[in-house]
Chains A and B, each alone.
Chain A
Amino acid sequence: MAVDTESGRAMNQTLVMAGTIAGVLAGVLVAASLLIWGERRLLAVWQDRSGPNRVGPLGLGQVAADVVKILTKEDWIPPFADKPIFVLAPMIIMTTTLLSFAVICFGPSAVVADLNVGLLFFLAMSAMGVYSVVLAGWASNSKYPLLGAMRAAGQMFGYEVFMGLSLMGVVMCAGSFNLREIVLAQRHLWFCVPQVLGLVIFLIAGFAETRRLPLDLPETENELVAGYHTEYSGMKFGMFYVGEYVGVVLVSSLITVLFFGGWLGPWLPGVVWFCIKTLVFVCFFVLCRATLMRPRYDQLMSFGWKVLLPLSLANLLVTAAVVLVRGGQ
């Protein structure tokens, strides 16, 4: 009998785990595809126009229309491309960004993998995500994608360094790489107050890592056609397109978890608080796209290495000193 309950409990755990994974995947993918519509509507609001409002209520059918269009388009692989890598590249970006959601805790117990190196897992996955963009540009074997890939390699590699360094202040304050423990360490004070410098650096690096508009130099449409994904069409392009939105949701939820107390909040259930906070940052991403202009590539790189790197190192030093003086965690 004891064996039966034991296996029953294991079975239950497996079911709960499968449910969590399915819930997280479905939630993230639905949020990302709704962003196709949401971003255009929000941009329209800020630029004083209507945006897509014809298909279905509020224009929500635009999502379905876009999906049908992407799926039925001819999926063309250029004859001069390196075929296996050309096909592989869009898969990498989807896999790495979706895998990163495994370590994010949406609620006190709503987490897929409660890793003790959770934050490092995210950094590892974003390091692997660079390959997607670089390989896409290289495998296309034509000049604009290659130029986009070169820019992506330099930009994403550099900003990954500052991203990692800016997060180490949070790790020191919380005394853990585990995202659940980082949230629990913010019960009294959200880390956006003591780590405001880390937050700003992480935000800028997040824009560079997701290649969103102020820092979308790998795909600048007015100089490089579409940059690294110029030669892509159909669903392979769709994967880059949705992958970018998944990346935006990922960075927004990380900002929520690391700097704004994750699921912590009064009255409402934790998951709701998490979604509200994340939504605010997703909207902030769109607002930046609507208002900010793109820097030159050399400005971006020198800003990164000459301003952000010293700043994040200084943040690290001061945080370490304060934690040490206060007697550690």
Chain B
Amino acid sequence: MNILFYVAAAIAIVSSIAAITRSHAIHAILFLVVSFVSISLVFYTLGAPFIAALEVITYAGAIMVLFMFAIMLLNLGAHAVQRERQWQPRIVWAGSGLLSLILLAQLAWTFSFGKAQTGSLPVAPSQVGAALFGTYLLGVELASMLLLAGLAGAYYLGKRSGEPEHPKGGADGNGPA
């Protein structure tokens, strides 16, 4: 199990770096998907099979497919790759590198002095559900409000511009299907 964890973690790190540095959008997304799948494996080795499955279904599956759908719709060509390269000057790496270093130091401190659990007992799906809808019910409800706001926002943005909010009368024969 330990070897599996380290291999998956290494793949996650390498593919995340690749996802940032690739200038081709679709290739970057594919590396991000690989990163999500290996993170799901990390969850699995830490004893959370339910979260591992959800990670693949929602993040690697649903969300990234939507990303890819949007990028395919944009139909970026070679000039987009060129432009992306120009947007990545060296100086950008300094700030993000510093932030990552701080995180790394924090992580090292936690692992050496704090109490980090690894390889604990697997958590059953029903336990996750009971925790979500028992102890953390408020959090779940707040998240659902946030999602509702996102839905309303998407509906507003998706509404065709120039179209009246309430079509006058009922004889709107040629409206959108």
Same complex for A and B? Answer yes
Q: Kindly specify which of A125-133, A190-198, A211-219 makes contact with the partner chain.
A: A125-133
Are A123 and B57 in contact (CB-based, < 8 A)?
yes
Are B60 and A117 in contact (CB-based, < 8 A)?
no
> Chain A residues near B177 (CB, 8 Å)?
298, 302
> Chain A residues near B61 (CB, 8 Å)?
124, 127-128, 130, 160
Are B53 and A120 in contact (CB-based, < 8 A)?
yes
**B68 at interface (Cβ–Cβ under 8 A)?**
yes
**Quick one: given A138-B72, A150-B72, A153-B69, are A128 and B60 in contact (CB under 8 Å)?**
yes
Interface size for chain B: under 10, 10 to 19, 20 to 34, or 35 or more residues?
20 to 34
**Quick one: given A124-B57, A127-B60, A128-B60, are A117 and B73 in contact (CB under 8 Å)?**
no
Per DSSP, chain B at the interface is helix
> Chain B residues near A101 (CB, 8 Å)?
none
Pair count A-B, CB < 8 A: 73
> Chain A residues near B122 (CB, 8 Å)?
116
Give the CA-CA distance A298 to B37 in the complex, in Å: 32
Give the CA-CA distance A82 to B27 in the complex, in Å: 10
**B18 at interface (Cβ–Cβ under 8 A)?**
no
**A241 at interface (Cβ–Cβ under 8 A)?**
no
Give the CA-CA distance A124 to B61 in the complex, in Å: 7
Are B124 and A160 in contact (CB-based, < 8 A)?
no
> Chain B residues near A177 (CB, 8 Å)?
125
Shortest Cβ-Cβ A-B pairs, 8 listed: A127-B61, A120-B53, A124-B56, A153-B69, A117-B53, A117-B49, A124-B57, A127-B57
| B interface residues with partner A (beta carbon < 8 Å) | 26-27, 30, 33, 37, 40, 49-50, 52-54, 56-57, 60-62, 65-66, 68-69, 72-73, 122, 124-126, 177
| A interface residues with partner B (beta carbon < 8 Å) | 82, 85, 115-117, 120-121, 123-124, 127-128, 130-131, 134-135, 138, 146, 149-150, 153-154, 157, 160, 164, 175, 177, 298, 302
